[in-house]
Amino acid sequence: MDLDPEDTAAMRRENGGKDFRLFLRQQIANGQARKTQAPAVNPPKPPGYRVGAWPDGARPPDPPLSRHTDADWQHALGQFRLGAGHDNDPCHCGSCPTTTKGLR
């Protein structure tokens, strides 16, 4: 609100300054009303809500698909247990050099 000095002087003259005091008290009340805000209300939980659980009708995501079959894993495990890839026996994993002698 913009008050000119003339407006302030006019309010002080009317009713012996009572209007000016009422105006200032109302300004204080308006400012305090803006300070106090209603507490934030949390939205209600959806029906069937369980803390820490997946919502009804939902499930965790599937694990990532492997490009290797179970037979591939069993073969690799057997090779690892037999110590393949050491000495002069080449490893067939595709990541190792063709001969691993001296590298491990």
Angle at which helices 18-35 and 5-13 cross, to 10°: 120
Token pair recorded at residue 86:
């050491």
Domain ranges for the chain: 5-35
E-state strands within 19-83: none
Mean pLDDT, rounded, for 58-65:
84
State the DSSP code for 88. Answer: T
As a residue count, the chain comes to 104
pTM of the model as a whole: 0.33
What tens digit of pLDDT does each residue of 13-52 get?
A: 888 888 888 889 999 998 888 887 778 889 998 887 888 8
Instruction: Return mean pLDDT, the chain.
Output: 78
Per mean pLDDT, which of 73-77, 82-86, 87-91, 94-98 is the most reliable?
A: 73-77
Lowest mean pLDDT, pick from 5-14, 25-34, 64-73, 88-97: 88-97
